[in-house]
Every structure is written in structure tokens, then in C-alpha cells.
Structure 1
Amino acid sequence: MPLKLSVIILNYNVRYFLELCLHSVEAATRLVDAEIIVVDNHSQDDSCEMVKALFPKVKLIENQENLGFSKGNNIGVAKAKGDYICILNPDTVVAEDAFRTLLKFAEAQNNFGSVGCRLIDGNGDFLPESKRNIPTPKVAINKIFGKTKGYYAAHLEAAAIGKVAVLVGAFMLLKRSVYQQVGGFDEDYFMYGEDIDLSYKITQAGLDNYYHGETVAIHFKGESTLKDKTYAKRFYGAMQIFYKKHFKRNLWFDTLVWFGIQLAKILQRRTSKTKLKFSKYAFVSDTENIKLKLKLKKPVSLVVMETPISKETQLVFDANVIPFKDIIAYFSDSEKNKNITFKILPKNANFILGSHSAKSRGEVITF
């Protein structure tokens, strides 16, 4: 008998972020007839062992090589039984009501193709790629040289709900029948561009993609992939694949893509990593003993959600007692999160983690 939802999480070497993600997804599927499928692309860390030990109900698929984003997700969807599927990154955190809200929204639409939500990064900043336009050659060329006008869907505010052309593959919910109808992710793409291609195929099939800005999730962007010259090469290579498939071949565009990749390499070398500055930790928890368990080199205080937080503080949320929805809401509150940074302590975990830059790995502190 079909389930309501299958959550597909493709993992590659992000064991700690995956653990946090799975805790949030388990909480979000508690009241939904759902299954969770983790497809591991031959991680070299102990991701698979962790899933088996801590999440025995999760269906784990262990690939024997890194098959890329498209093929890895297609393998997961082939095993899915849900009427709906949600493609989800392993470095995300979802609220307890996220899936119920989006499923209810999807079922209320007459011409539903897919829906995404408002994504924020590890600093609580809105990620504009949550809603995008089809990158025509002109728009893509501007994007290569740092001009994003026309690339993002500016007709909708971050907290709005409405139709958009392109969603991001970090969080994308759609009917499994629609995914199959349009052929799923195109396996010509190894990484990047697959979500643009899938979104475009859905609209070409006459269906609508929606952005639901009232539903918010954290995407620790920069953890699954780093922004370096390899990223630039793969991203703009993906754009070339997209245009060859859906638009006329443009030699001028190909030339500018090459220059864009070279420029990205130069800018990457010139970009210095900003060191995170904070002088103390503040734990949002109701457990006084939490301070005794932590071996941190800075002062640690215990606070509640309503406590005013001073500058240069790293706020650590105890997910054993604080709902994910409350954590996400605090992250996204720009009035509260000025001049502070965040980490999360997952349920029953011996580590805290966070990510404060889209260009560098997130930080995991074990104790």
C-alpha cells in the first residue's frame, strides 16, 4: 500500500550534518505516513554505520561509488513508495510541521508540479536560490560576472507564496508520478544544474512550481559542496549541458562561460576566509548539567529563548529540549540574530555543529 511521503536524502561524507538532519526529519514525519531513504554515495566517513546504529527504521542504500547527485537521487526514488517525494540535502534542518504544511498546500493546487520552501543558511540569512527564474543565456552570462538581476525570482518576497520557475534541489517536494513522468533528474548532470533542469521539465509538462516562503528550513550551505574552482567548473559546465538540451547552441555563451570559470578561479584565490569571532557560548537548554558535559575553551552560560544575547556570543540550541521549529525561527529572526552566531546540539549527541560561511566547511566540535 502506498505511503503518503518518501523523503530522499543523498549523503556524501557529511556524517554529523546527516545525523542532525535525520533527527529533524524523523520529528517532521511523526504525524505523516512516511518513509525516510538515505542514499549514500560511497562516503569515506562513518555515515552508514551511524545511520544503522541510530536510525534503524531508515532505509539505507549504500552505493559502491560516488554516482553524483542525479543518479544517486534517482536510485532513491526508484525504491520510494510514497505518493509524494521530497528531495532533501543532508545538511538541512526541517521544522516539525514542514512536510504536513507543504503536503496540505500541494493537495490544494489544481495544477501542482512541485513546491520548495524558504531556505536560510547557518547564519539565518535568506538563500535567494530558494526561488529562481529560468537562466536564459543573457541571465546566465550576467550571473557568471556577478550580476544576479533576473537570476533570482524577485517578484516574490522571501516570506511570500507563489509560482516560480526554478526550485533548489536542497529541498524539493513533488508527486512521485510527476518525477517519473518527466524522467526524474537528468543523469548527464553529475552535480549542479539538475534542479534547474527538473524544474524546467515540470513547467514544460504544463505543471506549476511553487515557492512556499512561510515554511522555513536551514540549509548549511557550503557543507555539501565547497565554492572553489571545481565548483565553478561543474556549475558552468552544467549550464552548458542545460543549454545544449533546451536551447540553441551558443558559441558566444560557451566562450563567456570559459572566461567565467577562469574569473571564478582568480576570485577564489583572492577571497580570504573570515575568521569567526566570538568570546563566549550561551546554551539554550533547560538542563544545567549540559555545561558539565561540554569541554569548550570559552565561557559557557545557560539561557532561555527569551534571554537577550550580547554581541560576540555563539548561541547553541539544545535540540533535546528545543523544537526544531523554534530553533529555525530564532535563526531567521534578523532582529535577534545580529552579531551572534549559532550551533546546534543534536538529540543524544556528543557534538555541536554549525556553518557560518557558504565558502567553507561547517564546524563540528565533539566532546
Structure 2
Amino acid sequence: MKLSVIVVNYNMCSLLRQALFTLNRACRDIDYELIVVDDASTDKSVQMLNSEFPDAKLLVNKHPRGIAKARNQGIEQAGGEYVLLVNADTISGKKTVEHVVAFMDAHKDAGGVGVRMLSPRGNFLSESRTGFSRVWGGLLKLTGLAKYFPKSRLYKTDDIWVEDEEFATTEVDVINGAFMLLRRSVVNQIEAFDERFVMFGHDIDLSFRIRLAGYKNYYFPKTYILNFNSLSRTKFSWTYIRHFYGAMIIFAAKYLLHMPEIKIPGIPQIFAPKYEIER
């Protein structure tokens, strides 16, 4: 089997329906399986899945386990050469999956790839290229871990930014977790998500470990998804704050106690790196 598509859902019935419809459409010419992990939803998500997507492999948790654990559940059941992790609040383009699978086939050095993300209004979301927010970038600089993220240019000056970066295919430090296609053999080698990251940071940690193992992460903007993330989360709730900043503490503690060695030769540790750009 070529591809395993994994979607974790928690109380997003309407958005999930859209996400699965567009994913099935985008995968129609690919040998794939669809795995949905419902993380103890209290809405009508499970009923909708049983009635409208009977071919999907459905895993239902009795109690919420968090996105990292839920995604690991899906990965354990996956049989594809590639694993595609997609948020339940996204809409995929008609050729999105086909294009990213072809990209991975052509780039044997790639551990994973992400795509250009747009808001529902069509605005470019910069986190699809950087992989993390400015707050995360501030933490990395504060702790000194920023030197391990040279392609995010956390020490950048304005004159070293690449023109038209939204549309430039390039190597990146972090693949955004909203849509990340991973090579299964690499996941098996480095192990899947660190389950201590309940809601946030699991994608940053996994992307970092992909690079530590000597593989590359890519940003591929020649296709897109629509991301409703900003509309679906309450950023001022205590749960959000606790898990968002807690993930930063976990990440810093994990790597400050044992400073890792990146196996990819020729990566500058502080100064801005040279980029491999495809137009």
C-alpha cells in the first residue's frame, strides 16, 4: 500500500466531514487507506463516520488521550509506505495528496514534507513554512536551541529573506502538523510522536528528530490546503495556555539536558544557511 491517511478528531463533526470528503477525492488515484481516530468526541462525529464513511478504519477512544497519543494509535494501524497526518479542520486541494506523494518519491533524502497553507479567506499562513509561531521562536532563542533551527532563520536580518518565499520549494526545520506527509521507514527508525506533547509541540519535536537522524524536511508550496485552525480553538482558555506553554517547557528540558548532534554535514549552527530552492 502506498499511503495511510490518518485524521484525529475531537468534536469537529462538520469540519471533519469536509476534511474527509476532500481527502478521499484527493486520494482517488492512489492506493491508500483512511484511518480516523476519534478522541472521545461528545458530538455526533462517530455516528457521522459510521454512516457516511463506512470504508474508513475507525478507532474510538473512550477518554481523550491527546493528539500525539491519538496519532500514534493511527500510525500503529497504518500499512502504507507513507503516512499522511491531517488535521480534522482542513480542506485539501484536488491534487494535493498526489503532488506531495510524487515529491517524496522524487526526494529520497526527505523524511517528511508539508505544504502551503491558506486561511479560509485565501491568505497565506506563514507557519506552514516556518513550522512554528513567533512565541516558539522566542523560546528557542532564549534557551540557545535556536542554533539547531538554522533554516528557520531565527537570527535573520531583513536582507537575507528569500523573495517569493511563499512559493519557493525549500528545505525547512519543521513541518507543520496540520498536514505532514512522513516516510514510514523514517518514522519506524526514530519512533513516532513523543506522547508528553498533549496538544502542541509534537510536530516540532518529530521534525527535529527527523533532522537529527540525517533526513531532510521540506516545504512544498506547489499545492495547498485550507486551514480553519484559527477558528476552531479558544486561545484564551486555561487548557490552551497550559498545554501550549507546557509543550515549550517539555521541549526545552528534553534537549537542553542532552545537547543533540545533527548528523547532516555542513549545517551552520548560528549563521543563516544556504538554501536549496526549487522554482
* TM-score bracket, shorter-length normalisation: 0.7 to 0.9
Please state if 1:157 is matched with 2:165: yes
Question: Mapping of 1:1-367 within 5 angstroms?
Answer: 3-132=1-130, 135=137, 137-139=139-141, 150=154, 155=162, 157-230=165-238, 231-248=240-257
Following superposition, the deviation at residue 109 of structure 1 comes to 1.1
Contact 1:133 1:166 (C-alpha < 8 Å) held by counterparts: yes
The 1:59–1:233 alpha-carbon spacing in structure 2 relative to 1, beyond 3 Å, is same
C-alpha deviation, 1:222, in angstroms: 2.6
Moved more, 234-243 or 131-140: 131-140
CA contact (8 A) 2:176 2:204 kept: yes
Structure 2, gaps ≥5 residues long: 144-151, 259-279
Greater RCO structure (CA 8 Å; 6+ sep) = 2
Query: What is the CA distance between 1:139 and its match in structure 2?
Result: 3.2
Structure 1 stretches lacking a partner, 5+ long: 142-147, 250-367
Instruction: Tell me the equivalent position of 1:317.
Output: none
Structure 2 letter corresponding to 1:169: G
How far did residue 137 of structure 1 move? Answer: 3.9
Cα separation, 2, equivalents of 1:80 and 1:206: 24
Mean CA deviation greater in 58-67 or 224-233 = 224-233
The answer to whether the 8 Å contact 2:113/2:217 transfers is yes
Amino acid at match of 1:242: F
1:224 CA drift (Å): 4.3
Q: CA deviation at 1:73?
A: 0.2
- Separation in 1, partners of 2:48, 2:89: 15
The answer on whether the counterparts of 1:129 and 1:167 sit within 8 Å (CA) in structure 2 is no
Match of 2:149 in 1: none
Query: 1:232 corresponds to which letter in structure 2?
Result: I
CA distance in 2, matches of 1:15, 1:164: 32
* Contact preservation (8 Å) 1:133, 1:150: no
Distance 2:185 2:59 in 1: 22
Closer, same or farther: CA 176–26 of 1 in aligned 2, 3 Å: same
CA displacement 1:262-303 (0-9 Å, x = unmatched): xxxxxxxxxxxxxxxxxxxxxxxxxxxxxxxxxxxxxxxxxx
Higher CA-based Rg: 1
Deviation string 1:21-55 (CA, Å, 9 cap, x unpaired) is 11101101100000111000000001010011011
Change (3 A) 1:13 1:138: closer
**1:217 corresponds to which letter in structure 2?**
I
Partners of 1:149 and 1:232 in 2: how far apart? 26
Q: Distance in 1 between matches of 2:246 and 2:131?
A: 19
Deviation per residue, 1:128-148 (Å, 9 max, x gap): 11122784745368xxxxxx9
For residues 195-240 of structure 1, the C-alpha deviation after alignment (integer angstroms, 9 at most, x for no partner) is 1000000000000000001111001013443211432332111011
State the secondary structure of the residue aligned to 1:158.
Answer: helix
Tell me the SS of whatever aligns to 1:82. coil
Which piece of structure 1 moves more, 130-139 or 117-126?
130-139
Is the Cα contact below 8 Å between 2:12 and 2:88 reproduced in 1?
Answer: yes
Across the aligned residues of Structure 1 and Structure 2, the Cα RMSD in angstroms comes to: 2.4
